């Protein structure tokens, strides 16, 4: 969603911000803006649409001279995408400009209060309310004004602020929305995401909730509640800038698909030693594990789909009821959560509003929360009882691929670790699964090396307008992810069904030429799935089947085309089967000329409910 980048130092700020904003484009946005603070006061430029529009208006930055400024990409919440609603916003007194990520929940009340005091508003945004509130408290002490305003703001926010009276100073304050401060050679930085400033510095401070940072070219100071100055620890970002660049690939999504063998290796190999799974990240007491009556797995979108795979696998391995829940539904469904419940939250960003809410509700009800997160220091990582990081590196494409694969890999580790403690797995089974895990990266490489076959299949089917995915058990879980991937980037309508369910209604939609993609990797149920394939084939459907090398013979006579993946332990099949489906979605979207890394209406990190 929205992105923030700010700079104060001896360089020209505008080009630095334009570059930073381009690096934040992946988050999804609909307008962009920039403010420069200097001896001439505050100068503002904002534009609906891409950062390129903004850049053209200011001559690539050359028309806005000055060493201090803040830029923003906005994903509309309050008020439509427009020049007026774009950030930064300037206060009624003209002295203060701010950019904002998040949502101010009590903005209407505050707006009414300010209007009653005679303040006039130019936009429909909650951000302008925050800006005017700071101006309202401003009496020459900008730190105090920001603190007073922040005390009255409810909701989630990351604010970047400049004040005309302090031309080389940036201020930042946050609550439940991330902000980092970067220490550079020729100045200091402010950003909502390290990707925006990584080309300048890897030395960053992570701002905590309710903390205020005051940034000048030579210093960064932090203030906690009551404006007490605090010391913070400098962190070093260890991923390389190339990880957040395309590196010769046409799209981030394709690059991230290709990175999966390495990403999964990084997730797994440090946690498997001498044939044993070591989860140093979690501290589970065996008695606690034995007392568990239920596990909930909570997430949104693809993270939820990982949960659906894990539900099948964990129930099989642990013999405990496991439920996969959509985070947006979870807390309003009176979940049966208590101290004998483990809640596993899955989130790449660690910032998804619904998953955060589900996590907090689970903790409030007494559950222990284990999270599977990619972004270090994110809200979910910070607030969970235990965190297992996926170590997938930055994921830039909106459509997740390597995060999905690494999250899945972590669920296998959790399954093995817990099954071992609970005594629900035999030694042979444990060893076979560990062997399978260690072989996953090379099998993923093998699948990727035959990507041209998937590209060819995409060229046959890319002009379909309705596609149905069917599968049973873990293959059904996989249809959910395959269908989501396809529709989010290619805009083709598709649906995912448990294969046995079609004849209870949906089969009426099958007609001559309808494409049905059958996931038939799960050997135990392959014959059942073949029966369902026959049902749709005899009603005119074209069949593309995904199966394992040993499954080909079972599906050959009923399929028009087949995608084959290597055999592996049945628990691990989704890790291999998802990759051809990611490639299929990618190639189909490419052939349809879609905006692959930034699909319409979508944002990378969904920080609103």
Which C-beta is closer to ligand F6R: that of 349 or that of 514?
Answer: 349
Question: Should residue 303 be labelled a site residue for ligand F6R when binding is judged by CB under 6 A?
Answer: yes
Q: Measure the CA–CA gap between 583 and 581, rounded to whole angstroms.
A: 5
Report in angstroms how near the CB of residue 437 gets to ligand F6R at its nearest: 22
Which C-beta is closer to ligand F6R: that of 341 or that of 483?
Answer: 483
Report in angstroms how near the CB of residue 271 gets to ligand F6R at its nearest: 20
Question: Should residue 606 be labelled a site residue for ligand F6R when binding is judged by CB under 6 A?
Answer: yes
Distances in whole angstroms, Cα of residue 583 to Cα of each of 187, 253, 298, 303, 399: 42, 9, 26, 19, 12
Contact 586, 251 (CB under 8 A): yes
Question: In this chain, which of 164, 168, 488, 535 binds ligand F6R, going by CB under 6 A?
Answer: 488
Which C-beta is closer to ligand F6R: that of 327 or that of 555?
Answer: 327
Show the site string, 388-407: x = touches ligand F6R by CB under 6 A, - = not: -----------xx-------
Question: In this chain, which of 127, 347, 482, 490 binds ligand F6R, going by CB under 6 A?
Answer: 347
Tell me how crowded residue 83 is: count the other CB atoms within 10 A of its CB: 14
Report in angstroms how near the CB of residue 400 gets to ligand F6R at its nearest: 3
Task: Report how many residues bind ligand F6R under the rule CB under 6 A.
Answer: 15
Pairing between β-strand 294-299 and β-strand 341-347 as defined by DSSP bridges: parallel
Report in angstroms how near the CB of residue 297 gets to ligand F6R at its nearest: 13
Distances in whole angstroms, Cα of residue 194 to Cα of each of 4, 128, 230: 10, 26, 22
Report in angstroms how near the CB of residue 374 gets to ligand F6R at its nearest: 8
Which one, of 145, 142, 105, lies nearest residue 126 by Cα? Answer: 105
Question: Should residue 300 be labelled a site residue for ligand F6R when binding is judged by CB under 6 A?
Answer: yes
Which C-beta is closer to ligand F6R: that of 64 or that of 381?
Answer: 381
- Quick one: which segment of 42-50, 144-152, 177-185, 297-305 binds ligand F6R (CB under 6 A)? 297-305
Which C-beta is closer to ligand F6R: that of 114 or that of 358?
Answer: 358
DSSP calls for 21-39:
HHHTGGG--SEEEEEEEET
Question: Should residue 605 be labelled a site residue for ligand F6R when binding is judged by CB under 6 A?
Answer: yes
- Quick one: which segment of 101-109, 211-219, 344-352, 493-501 binds ligand F6R (CB under 6 A)? 344-352
Report in angstroms how near the CB of residue 472 gets to ligand F6R at its nearest: 23
Which one of the listed residues 46, 255, 487, 604 is annotated catalytic? 604
Question: In this chain, which of 73, 201, 328, 349 binds ligand F6R, going by CB under 6 A?
Answer: 349
Q: Measure the CA–CA gap between 343 and 9, rounded to whole angstroms.
A: 45
DSSP calls for 463-509:
T-SEEEEEE-THHHHHHHHHHHHHHHHH--EEEEEEGGGGGGTGGGG
Question: Should residue 55 be labelled a site residue for ligand F6R when binding is judged by CB under 6 A?
Answer: no
Contact 180, 202 (CB under 8 A): no
DSSP designation for 106:
T
Q: Measure the CA–CA gap between 316 and 539, rounded to whole angstroms.
A: 35
Which one of the listed residues 2, 131, 163, 300 is annotated catalytic? 2
Q: Measure the CA–CA gap between 117 and 175, rounded to whole angstroms.
A: 27
Question: In this chain, which of 302, 473, 545, 575 binds ligand F6R, going by CB under 6 A?
Answer: 302
Q: Measure the CA–CA gap between 486 and 507, rounded to whole angstroms.
A: 21
- Quick one: which segment of 206-214, 299-307, 332-340, 439-447 binds ligand F6R (CB under 6 A)? 299-307
Which one, of 602, 604, 596, lies nearest residue 3 by Cα? Answer: 604
> Is 2 a known active-site residue?
yes
452 conformational bin, left if phi > 0, alpha if psi -120 to 50, beta if neither: alpha
DSSP calls for 303-364:
HHHHHHHHHHHHHHHH-S-EEEEEHHHHTTS----STTEEEEEEESSS--HHHHHHHHHHHH
Report in angstroms how near the CB of residue 602 gets to ligand F6R at its nearest: 8
Question: Should residue 348 be labelled a site residue for ligand F6R when binding is judged by CB under 6 A?
Answer: yes
Question: Should residue 69 be labelled a site residue for ligand F6R when binding is judged by CB under 6 A?
Answer: no
Tell me how crowded residue 308 is: count the other CB atoms within 10 A of its CB: 21
Question: In this chain, which of 167, 301, 307, 394 binds ligand F6R, going by CB under 6 A?
Answer: 301
Contact 544, 563 (CB under 8 A): yes
**Residue 607 corresponds to which tokens in the numbers above?**
């920080």
Contact 494, 469 (CB under 8 A): yes
- Quick one: which segment of 145-153, 227-235, 301-309, 498-506 binds ligand F6R (CB under 6 A)? 301-309
Which C-beta is closer to ligand F6R: that of 68 or that of 374?
Answer: 374
Q: Measure the CA–CA gap between 117 and 133, rounded to whole angstroms.
A: 11
Element (H, E) at 197: none
Which C-beta is closer to ligand F6R: that of 259 or that of 488?
Answer: 488
Shortest Cβ contact with ligand F6R: which residue?
301
Query: Scanning residues 445 to 484, which ones bind ligand F6R (CB under 6 A)?
Result: 484
Helix (H, G, I), strand (E, B), or coil: what is residue 46?
A: strand
- Quick one: which segment of 76-84, 124-132, 296-304, 495-503 binds ligand F6R (CB under 6 A)? 296-304
Report in angstroms how near the CB of residue 395 gets to ligand F6R at its nearest: 8
- Quick one: which segment of 294-302, 444-452, 470-478, 522-530 binds ligand F6R (CB under 6 A)? 294-302
Question: In this chain, which of 31, 169, 177, 352 binds ligand F6R, going by CB under 6 A?
Answer: 352
Measure CA 559 to chain center.
35
Report in angstroms how near the CB of residue 440 gets to ligand F6R at its nearest: 21
> Is 604 a known active-site residue?
yes
Report in angstroms how near the CB of residue 356 gets to ligand F6R at its nearest: 9
The catalytic site residues sit at 2, 604
Residues of this chain that interact with ligand F6R (CB under 6 A) are 300-303, 347-349, 352, 355, 399-400, 484, 488, 605-606
């Amino acid at each position: 969603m929205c992105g923030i980048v700010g700079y104060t130092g001896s360089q020209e700020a505008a080009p630095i911000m334009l570059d930073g904003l381009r690096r934040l484009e992946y988050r999804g946005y609909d307008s962009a803006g920039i403010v420069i603070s200097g001896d001439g006061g505050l100068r503002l430029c904002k534009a609906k649409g891409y950062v390129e529009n903004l850049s053209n208006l200011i001559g690539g930055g050359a028309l806005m001279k000055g060493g201090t400024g803040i830029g923003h990409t906005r994903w509309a919440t309050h008020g439509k995408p427009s020049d007026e609603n774009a950030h930064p916003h300037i206060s009624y007194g003209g002295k203060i400009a701010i950019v904002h990520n998040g949502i101010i929940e009590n903005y209407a009340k505050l707006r009414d209060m300010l209007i009653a005091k005679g303040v006039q508003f130019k936009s429909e945004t909650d951000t302008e309310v925050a800006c005017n509130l700071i101006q309202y408290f401003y009496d020459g002490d900008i730190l105090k004004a920001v603190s007073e305003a922040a005390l009255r703001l409810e909701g989630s926010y990351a604010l970047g602020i400049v004040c005309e009276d302090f031309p080389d100073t940036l201020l930042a304050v946050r609550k439940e929305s991330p902000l980092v401060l970067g220490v550079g050679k020729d100045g200091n930085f402010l950003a909502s995401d390290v990707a925006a400033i990584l080309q300048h510095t890897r030395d960053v401070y992570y701002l905590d909730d309710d903390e205020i940072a005051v940034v000048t070219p030579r210093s960064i100071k932090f203030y906690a509640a009551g404006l007490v100055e605090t010391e913070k620890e400098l962190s070093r970002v260890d991923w390389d800038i190339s990880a957040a660049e395309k590196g010769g690939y046409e799209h981030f999504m394709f690059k991230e698909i290709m990175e999966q063998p390495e990403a999964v290796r990084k997730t797994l190999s440090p946690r498997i030693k001498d044939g044993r799974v070591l989860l140093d990240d979690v501290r589970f007491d065996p008695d606690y594990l034995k007392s568990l009556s239920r596990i909930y797995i909570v997430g949104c979108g693809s993270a939820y789909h990982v949960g659906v795979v894990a539900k099948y696998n964990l129930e099989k391995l642990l013999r405990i009821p496991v439920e996969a829940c959509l985070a947006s539904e979870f807390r309003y469904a009176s979940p049966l959560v208590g101290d004998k419940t483990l809640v596993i939250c899955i989130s790449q960003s660690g910032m998804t509003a619904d998953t955060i809410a589900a996590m907090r509700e689970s903790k409030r009800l007494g559950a222990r929360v284990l999270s599977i997160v990619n972004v270090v220091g994110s809200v979910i990582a910070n607030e969970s009882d235990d965190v297992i990081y996926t170590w997938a590196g930055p994921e830039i494409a909106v459509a997740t691929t390597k995060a999905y694969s690494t999250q899945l890999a972590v669920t296998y580790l959790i399954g093995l670790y817990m099954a071992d403690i609970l005594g629900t797995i035999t030694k042979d089974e444990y060893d076979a699964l560990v062997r399978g895990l260690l072989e996953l990266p090379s099998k993923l490489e093998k699948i990727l090396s035959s990507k041209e076959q998937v590209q060819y299949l995409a060229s046959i089917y890319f002009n379909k307008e309705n596609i149905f995915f069917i599968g049973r058990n873990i293959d059904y879980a996989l249809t959910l992810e395959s269908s989501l991937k396809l529709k989010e980037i290619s805009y083709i309508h598709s649906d995912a069904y448990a294969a046995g369910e079609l004849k209870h209604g949906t089969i009426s939609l099958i007609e001559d030429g309808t494409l049905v993609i059958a996931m038939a990797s799960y050997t135990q149920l392959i014959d059942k799935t073949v029966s369902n394939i026959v049902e749709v084939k005899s009603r005119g459907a074209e069949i593309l089947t995904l199966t394992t090398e040993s499954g080909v013979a079972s599906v050959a006579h009923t399929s028009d085309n087949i995608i084959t993946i290597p055999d592996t332990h049945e628990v691990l099949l989704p890790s291999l089967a998802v990759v051809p489906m990611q490639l299929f979605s990618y190639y189909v979207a490419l052939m349809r000329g879609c905006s692959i890394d930034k699909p319409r209406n979508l944002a990378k990190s969904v920080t609103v409910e």
